[in-house]
């Protein structure tokens, strides 16, 4: 028989930022175990529910009794399972004891590598009553929980104390104990709006019963949709927009069981404070959604409450009172910070540790000033402004506002620089030097801002590579992958005519001699090339095109996009496949060739095909070099199509590895010349299908 299975774990308030992750992981763990045991089909994903005080699952078409099945257990190899006398070894005897079988019941199985003993045991299907509690408890132990709690006198542990358990198959309670709780059919609803203890009559009615009698919307996604719809409606009623923040929507969804959105306001005088400060205060501390008039903050905000009431005046008034001291603090910090110019804060950075092997923030600022100036000069930008911006870039770290809200670093620096009368380019660079902060973030605008942003990221990467603190596996404590992607995006998307090797050298020069040596610089260059490969792949570029372009280890990142476009146009030519295959052949020949590359000696050319190829290469070389010099990469690759017939004829009629040494060396020199001509934009051999 099949029926709907319901599991609910009633707890104290679960961590809101990880609630959805817990619900999904719980569903995945239980679904996998039920499917492996044969109670549900492998594709039966079920449904998951998660509220601040419960995790629940629902699976339709769950069997009362699992099917009969044959379990296959793999034992030791035949060679290690039998001794010289043909009798079972201790290893095989142990396997037979664990499986509960005799030697005569063993079979042999060859998996292509070796022959093994196996035992196939027929098992009659067992009731779900014997398995469900163990499945649920095992699934809970696998949840991604950083810290566990213990409560009462028992030994059970979970992320929060557990106070109830439902396990129903249809209308029948599946007996069992999980985390010290006996399975039943009762649960609790909303703390204040529920009708009291709720009995779930049968599994399919769980969601409707909880909402009707408990005033709890169990589905996480359903609550989230309700919240978004109410936020939209409340903002539209004022002809305003609520500030979109999906992470905050997820968090408030995990904080309420029956959401209701209300509007509140604060005194307009607080709008004199930079709106980033007010927005962060409302979002981070109070979980409010600010209301915007376009890009401008208003003095109104939306509250997602856990109470739906006829008269929300107490809720609205209470939230307005709560936010006022927070905004007052922000106003005080802002006004106090402006009394001290940013330039006067720079000396305090000498007392702030950046890294114990890389010195203080003050020492880092000195490096940034030098590096930003060098980059600005390479860009023919105002080096004085770049150096000034670099000097002030970290000064807001010792301000009261950033001390309270670290997320505002750079943003507050810009406001304070403007207040101090710094040039607009300097103030903007102070804020923009952290950009891009994440995937898809905006880039710095203007060469001064780009110079400071590049300096900030390159200094960090050079320093940490110099002391050997490189990212490993999924560990990147200093955000060097993010810094590398930031540098690459600035160079490629702005674009900027800067050489990556030159930038790495400039960054290394800021440290004491020997700290960032040749090996560290080479490792950093390779690291950035790999990040570039990932970036281009994520942007949707074909893998073989990316491999072909990056095989030449380009240092001018601003030219990579054009080279990719040229490679894409080249592979569409009818001659492309033959030329790519020929180039691959050339590469293989040159790998085996001994000796240094020499010039082609015309007098040693013997075959008509090699003479024709030599003539064609020399005839087309100036054209291709001109195209490359003018960055007409697509035309440069298209011009190679003219060599198709001569290349084919050469390989059809000429023996490159001739026995006569001078002839062989001359033909290899011709192939080197051809390879150098063909691979100026990309490694053509990698474009072969």
Task: Give residue-wise pLDDT tens across range 136-191.
Answer: 999 999 999 988 999 988 889 999 999 999 999 999 999 999 999 999 999 999 99
Length of the chain: 689
**pLDDT class of 595 with cuts at 50, 70, 90:** low
Answer whether residue 538 is part of any domain. no
The CATH code of the domain that includes 135 is: 3.30.70
Same structural domain, 24 and 143:
yes
Would you call 538 exposed, middle or buried from its count of C-beta atoms within 10 A (0-12, 13-18, 19+)? exposed
The mean pLDDT value for 257-267 works out to 97
Domain boundary residue, one of 313, 337, 361: 337
Q: What is the pLDDT of residue 78?
A: 83
Q: What is the pLDDT of residue 107?
A: 84
Nearest to 640 by CA among 687, 590, 598, 593: 687
Answer whether residue 96 is part of any domain. yes
Q: Is the pLDDT of residue 86 over 90?
A: no
Mean pLDDT of the chain: 93
Same structural domain, 419 and 468:
yes
The CATH code of the domain that includes 511 is: 1.10.3210
**More confident: 591 or 202:** 202
Same structural domain, 462 and 359:
yes
Domain boundary residue, one of 284, 307, 337: 337
Q: What is the pLDDT of residue 597?
A: 63
Answer whether residue 541 is part of any domain. no
Same structural domain, 51 and 101:
no
The mean pLDDT value for 674-685 works out to 90
Same structural domain, 421 and 357:
yes
Spatial distance between the Cα atoms of 375 and 447, rounded to a whole number of angstroms: 9
Nearest to 557 by CA among 497, 507, 508, 503: 497
Q: Is the pLDDT of residue 71 over 80?
A: no
Q: Is the pLDDT of residue 121 over 60?
A: yes
Same structural domain, 234 and 119:
no
The mean pLDDT value for 535-550 works out to 95
Question: b vs e for 136-175, b when ≥16 Cβ sit within 10 Å of the residue's Cβ?
Answer: beebbeebebeeeeeeeeeebbbbbbbbbbbbbbbeeebe
Q: What is the pLDDT of residue 596?
A: 56
By DSSP bridging, strand 115-123 and strand 289-293 are unpaired
Domain boundary residue, one of 165, 183, 214: 214
Most confident segment among 124-128, 325-329, 593-597, 683-687 = 325-329
Spatial distance between the Cα atoms of 57 and 220, rounded to a whole number of angstroms: 12
- pTM here? 0.80
Nearest to 664 by CA among 621, 610, 612, 628: 610
Answer whether residue 544 is part of any domain. no
Same structural domain, 76 and 20:
no
Answer whether residue 159 is part of any domain. yes
The total number of structural domains that make up the chain: 5
Q: What is the pLDDT of residue 661?
A: 87
Question: CB-based contacts of 620: which residues, under 8 Å, 6+ apart?
Answer: 639, 640, 642, 643, 677
Answer whether residue 681 is part of any domain. yes
Same structural domain, 596 and 671:
yes
The mean pLDDT value for 421-446 works out to 95
Spatial distance between the Cα atoms of 87 and 338, rounded to a whole number of angstroms: 89
Domain extent for 394: 343-526
Q: What is the pLDDT of residue 583?
A: 87
**pLDDT class of 109 with cuts at 50, 70, 90:** confident
Q: Is the pLDDT of residue 614 over 80?
A: yes
Answer whether residue 501 is part of any domain. yes
The CATH code of the domain that includes 618 is: 1.10.730
Spatial distance between the Cα atoms of 80 and 575, rounded to a whole number of angstroms: 59
Q: Indicate if the alpha-carbon torsion angle 93, 95, 100, 103 is positive or negative.
A: negative
What's the pLDDT tens digit per position in 22-55? 999 999 999 999 999 999 999 999 999 999 999 9
Question: CB-based contacts of 467: which residues, under 8 Å, 6+ apart?
Answer: 355, 357, 358, 515
Same structural domain, 389 and 468:
yes
Distance from chain centroid for Cα 1: 44
Percent of the chain's residues with pLDDT above 90? 77
Same structural domain, 168 and 27:
yes
Q: Is the pLDDT of residue 294 over 90?
A: yes
Answer whether residue 554 is part of any domain. no
Q: Is the pLDDT of residue 474 over 90?
A: no
**pLDDT class of 473 with cuts at 50, 70, 90:** confident
Q: What is the pLDDT of residue 439?
A: 87
Same structural domain, 307 and 204:
no
Spatial distance between the Cα atoms of 204 and 171, rounded to a whole number of angstroms: 9
Same structural domain, 649 and 500:
no
């Amino acid at each position: 028989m099949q029926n709907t299975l319901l599991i609910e774990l009633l707890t104290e308030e679960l961590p809101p930022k990880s609630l959805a992750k817990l619900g999904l992981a719980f569903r995945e763990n239980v679904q996998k175990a039920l499917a492996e045991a044969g109670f549900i089909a492998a594709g039966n994903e079920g449904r998951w529910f998660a509220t601040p005080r419960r995790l629940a699952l629902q699976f339709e078409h769950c069997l009362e009794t699992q099917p009969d099945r044959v379990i296959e257990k793999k034992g030791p190899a035949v060679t290690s399972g039998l001794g010289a006398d043909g009798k079972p070894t201790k290893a095989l005897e142990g396997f037979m004891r664990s499986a509960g079988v005799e030697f005569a019941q063993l079979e042999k199985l060859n998996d292509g590598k070796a022959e093994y003993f196996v035992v196939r045991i027929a098992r009659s299907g067992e009731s779900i009553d014997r398995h469900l509690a163990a499945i649920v408890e095992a699934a809970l132990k696998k949840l991604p929980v950083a810290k566990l709690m213990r409560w009462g006198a028992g030994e059970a542990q979970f992320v929060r104390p557990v106070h109830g358990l439902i396990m129903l198959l249809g209308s029948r309670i599946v007996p069992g104990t999980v985390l010290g709780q006996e399975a039943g059919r009762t649960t609790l609803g909303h703390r204040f709006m529920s009708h009291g203890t709720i009995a779930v009559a049968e599994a399919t009615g769980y969601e409707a019963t909880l909402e009707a009698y408990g005033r709890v919307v169990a589905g996480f996604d359903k609550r989230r949709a309700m919240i978004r719809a109410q936020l939209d409606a409340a903002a539209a009623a004022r002809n305003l927009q609520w500030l979109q923040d999906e992470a905050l929507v997820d968090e408030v969804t995990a904080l309420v069981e029956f959401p209701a959105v209300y509007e509140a306001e604060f005194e307009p005088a607080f709008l004199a404070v930079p709106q980033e400060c007010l927005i962060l205060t409302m979002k981070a501390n109070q979980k409010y959604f600010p209301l915007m008039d376009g890009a401008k903050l208003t003095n109104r905000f939306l509250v997602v409450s856990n109470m739906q009431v006829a008269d929300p005046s107490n809720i609205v008034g209470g939230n307005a009172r709560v936010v006022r001291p927070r905004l007052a603090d922000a106003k005080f910090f802002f006004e106090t910070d402006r009394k001290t110019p940013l330039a006067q804060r720079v000396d305090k950075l000498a007392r702030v540790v950046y890294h114990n092997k890389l010195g203080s923030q003050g020492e880092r600022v000195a490096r940034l000033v030098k590096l930003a100036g060098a980059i600005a000069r390479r860009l023919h930008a105002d080096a004085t402004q770049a150096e000034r911006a670099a000097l002030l870039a970290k000064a807001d770290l010792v301000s009261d506002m950033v001390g309270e809200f670290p997320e505002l670093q750079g943003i507050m620096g810009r406001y304070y620089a403007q207040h101090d009368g710094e040039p607009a380019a300097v103030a903007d660079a102070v804020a923009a030097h952290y950009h891009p902060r994440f995937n898809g973030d905006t880039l710095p605008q203007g060469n001064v801002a780009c110079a400071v942003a590049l300096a900030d990221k390159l200094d960090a990467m050079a320093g940490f590579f110099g002391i050997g603190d490189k990212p490993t596996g999924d560990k990147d404590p200093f955000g060097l992958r993010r810094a590398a992607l930031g540098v690459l995006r600035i160079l490629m998307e702005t674009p900027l005519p800067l050489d990556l090797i030159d930038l790495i050298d400039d960054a290394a020069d800021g440290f004491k001699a020997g700290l960032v040596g040749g090996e560290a610089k080479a490792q950093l260059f390779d690291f950035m090339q790999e990040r570039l490969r990932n970036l281009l792949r994520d942007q949707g570029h074909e893998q073989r095109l990316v491999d072909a372009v990056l095989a030449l280890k380009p240092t001018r990142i601003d030219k990579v996009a054009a080279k990719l476009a040229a490679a894409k146009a080249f592979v569409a030519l009818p001659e492309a496949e033959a030329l790519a295959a020929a180039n691959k052949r050339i590469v293989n020949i040159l790998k085996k060739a001994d000796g240094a590359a020499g010039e082609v000696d015309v007098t040693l050319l013997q075959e008509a095909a090699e003479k024709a190829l030599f003539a064609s290469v020399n005839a087309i070389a100036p054209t291709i070099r001109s195209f490359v010099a003018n960055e007409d990469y697509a035309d440069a690759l298209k011009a190679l199509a003219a060599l198709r017939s001569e290349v084919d004829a050469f390989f059809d009629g000429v023996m490159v590895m001739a026995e006569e040494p001078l002839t062989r060396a001359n033909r290899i020199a011709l192939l080197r010349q051809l390879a150098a001509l063909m691979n100026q934009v990309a490694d053509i051999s990698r474009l072969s299908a």
